[in-house]
Amino acid sequence: MTKRRILDLLRNGEPEEQATIQGWVRTKRESKKFAFMEVNDGSSLANLQVILEPTLEDYEEKLEQLNNGASVEVTGTLAESPGKGQSIELQATAVTVYGEADPETYPLQKKRHSFEFLRSIGHIRTRTNTLGAVMRVRNSCANAVHQFFQQHGFLWMHTPIITTNDCEGAGELFNVTSFDLNNVPKENGKVDYSQDFFGQPAYLTVSGQLEAEAMALSFDRVYTFGPTFRAENSNTSRHLAEFWMIEPEMAFCDLQGDMDWAEAFLKHIFQTVLDECPEDMEFFNQRIDDSVLTTADNIINQGFERITYKSAIALLEKADKQFEYPVEWGIDLQSEHERYLCEEHFQKPVILTDYPSEIKAFYMRLNDDEKTVGAMDVLAPKIGEIIGGSQREERLDILEKRIKEAGIDPEQLWWYLDLRRYGTVPHSGFDLGFERLIQFMTGIQNIRDVIPFPRTPDNADF
């Protein structure tokens, strides 16, 4: 008999069927006549209840071994469960204990543990309901990302993790070197990078966007989905030193097209996760944040409002509300402003476009007014900015000028400029941080709890 996953048994198991499961004991209860245990194999939030009768071989000895955290294989017969909340249970006919877990030292007790404590046991915390649900949602979400782009003819490209582009200005960089740091070669008092591995300074990538643009000019539609690194020393609930980023890039696509893609993408991701992980999403709504399902519904079912930055500023200025940060043309919107727009004024997702060029990156396309650029940010209720994107500057002369204005040496971006010399085309793209997306989707407060093994300042354990 082949083994079955618990999720499959809970959804499709029929009484009288024989089944074998493998997993870890969550709880065990003994009564005079028999014992129950709950077993989980990570495939679902719900455990499978197993009934152990004294007729089992070595019954007493096995009961001693079957403590929380022990690994076990159970073969038995499925039966309708009389207990409430469960449809099916397994009446064991054979039990193998693979590995015991000493109840004196096993770190997960039958009580609610704080997220902080759980982070200190990163190797075991995914055996809890909450972290288990997060990782299943994360998996479903990653799969949905690929599904969406593959269905629409995007090429998945792997961007380099090591880069010599230090000029995109997206964040603080980690250096990559093979120097012995106790004995760094110097010339005229400065580090001599010509002797380093790459013959020049190299870094861990902060974004694959510029490479994605190059590939979009060969394949029309591409996307990146991979790890990025930022050495920002900010110990916040939204920053990781290592995180995953999704960056689609579309050739022959203007800002309108960019917005259409971003909206369709978000709708698809949220819908897929609701379809694939309904119990987990329900769990988040009940236990973590009771707006999670409403937010998802809002993203899936509402058309996104589209307004310019200029109109947004006018709306905010007129708003009957006292903001902490005063509003005027030229400011970078704060989250209180973004939340007012989508939670109070429009009550649905909003895409803001055409930001002042001063507060946006050099590669964004300059509008005819020469004051604003073709940028777009997608803001969602309860979430704030979830996607940032833009139409890219495809005109060589204007791009060169913008690069210089940003204080960057155009020589360093020679290849990026080449893309405007040879077969340039209007093109657009957007980005989103994968862990931020999971945070929004699940309502989990701290970004450290939506990635299996988080890397943050002073922490790279496990």
Neighbours of 119 (CB within 10 A): 19
Minimum gap (Å) between residue 232 Cβ and ligand 4AD: 6
Judged on CB neighbours under 10 Å (0-12, 13-18, 19+), 295 is buried
Q: What is the CA radius of gyration of the chain?
A: 27
221 binds, among ligand 4AD, Mg ion, none (CB under 5 to 8 A by kind): none
d(Cα 160, Cα 101) in Å, to the nearest integer?
A: 42
Compare residues 349 and 388 and give the one whose CB is closer to Mg ion.
388
Q: 324 vs 66, 237, 319, 321, 370, CA distance in Å?
A: 57, 21, 13, 10, 30
Minimum gap (Å) between residue 327 Cβ and ligand 4AD: 22
Stretch that binds Mg ion, among 84-92, 260-268, 313-321, 387-395 (CB under 5 A): 387-395
127 binds, among Mg ion, ligand 4AD, none (CB under 5 to 8 A by kind): none
Minimum gap (Å) between residue 379 Cβ and ligand 4AD: 12
Nearest to 62 by CA among 20, 33, 30, 19: 30
Determine, following the binding rule CB under 5 A, whether residue 388 of this chain makes contact with Mg ion: yes
- Which residue reads 């960089």 in tokens? 173
Q: Which residue is nearest to ligand 4AD (CB)?
A: 433
Compare residues 431 and 449 and give the one whose CB is closer to ligand 4AD.
431
Minimum gap (Å) between residue 243 Cβ and ligand 4AD: 4
Stretch that binds Mg ion, among 220-228, 353-361, 383-391, 440-448 (CB under 5 A): 383-391
239 binds, among ligand 4AD, Mg ion, none (CB under 5 to 8 A by kind): ligand 4AD
Stretch that binds Mg ion, among 139-147, 173-181, 323-331, 380-388 (CB under 5 A): 380-388
Compare residues 101 and 145 and give the one whose CB is closer to ligand 4AD.
145
Compare residues 349 and 388 and give the one whose CB is closer to ligand 4AD.
388
Compare residues 232 and 279 and give the one whose CB is closer to ligand 4AD.
232
| Cβ(419)–Cβ(209) below 8 Å | no
Angle between helices 255-276 and 434-442 in degrees, nearest 10 = 50
Report which residue type is found at 52. L
d(Cα 101, Cα 90) in Å, to the nearest integer?
A: 22
Compare residues 132 and 374 and give the one whose CB is closer to Mg ion.
374
Q: 461 vs 41, 120, 132, CA distance in Å?
A: 25, 9, 20
Minimum gap (Å) between residue 435 Cβ and ligand 4AD: 5
258 binds, among Mg ion, ligand 4AD, none (CB under 5 to 8 A by kind): none
Determine, following the binding rule CB under 5 A, whether residue 248 of this chain makes contact with Mg ion: no
Q: Which residue is nearest to Mg ion (CB)?
A: 388
- Beta-strand ranges (E) seen in 348-426 are 350-356, 372-380, 384-392
d(Cα 325, Cα 310) in Å, to the nearest integer?
A: 17
Stretch that binds Mg ion, among 49-57, 139-147, 188-196, 381-389 (CB under 5 A): 381-389
Stretch that binds Mg ion, among 142-150, 348-356, 382-390, 413-421 (CB under 5 A): 382-390
**Geometric angle at alpha carbon 433, from 432 and 434, rounded to 5°:** 110
Report which residue type is found at 209. Q
Kindly give, in sequence order, each residue whose CB lies less than 8 Å from that of residue 354, ignoring residues fewer than 6 positions away: 308, 309, 310, 367, 372, 373, 374, 375
Q: Which residues of 328-362 are buried (b: 16+ CB within 10 A; e: fewer)?
A: eeeeebeeebbbbbbbebbebbbbbbbbbbeebbb
Minimum gap (Å) between residue 388 Cβ and Mg ion: 3
280 binds, among ligand 4AD, Mg ion, none (CB under 5 to 8 A by kind): none
Residues of the shown chain interacting with ligand 4AD in the complex, contacts defined by CB under 6 A: 168, 170-171, 207, 209, 230, 232, 239-240, 243, 245, 247, 388, 429, 431-433, 435-436
209 binds, among Mg ion, ligand 4AD, none (CB under 5 to 8 A by kind): ligand 4AD
Compare residues 67 and 163 and give the one whose CB is closer to ligand 4AD.
163
d(Cα 283, Cα 246) in Å, to the nearest integer?
A: 26
Minimum gap (Å) between residue 412 Cβ and Mg ion: 22
Alpha-carbon dihedral 81, 85, 87, 91, rounded to 10 degrees = -40
Compare residues 224 and 424 and give the one whose CB is closer to ligand 4AD.
224
**Geometric angle at alpha carbon 336, from 334 and 340, rounded to 5°:** 120
- Which residue reads 């919107």 in tokens? 333
Report which residue type is found at 138. R
Compare residues 365 and 436 and give the one whose CB is closer to ligand 4AD.
436
Minimum gap (Å) between residue 86 Cβ and ligand 4AD: 39
Report which residue type is found at 418. D
- Which residue reads 């760094």 in tokens? 184
What's the full length of the chain, in residues?
462
Compare residues 374 and 388 and give the one whose CB is closer to ligand 4AD.
388
| Cβ(453)–Cβ(126) below 8 Å | no
Minimum gap (Å) between residue 281 Cβ and Mg ion: 26
Report which residue type is found at 168. E
Minimum gap (Å) between residue 62 Cβ and ligand 4AD: 46
240 binds, among ligand 4AD, Mg ion, none (CB under 5 to 8 A by kind): ligand 4AD
Which residues of the shown chain bind Mg ion in the complex (CB under 5 A)? 388
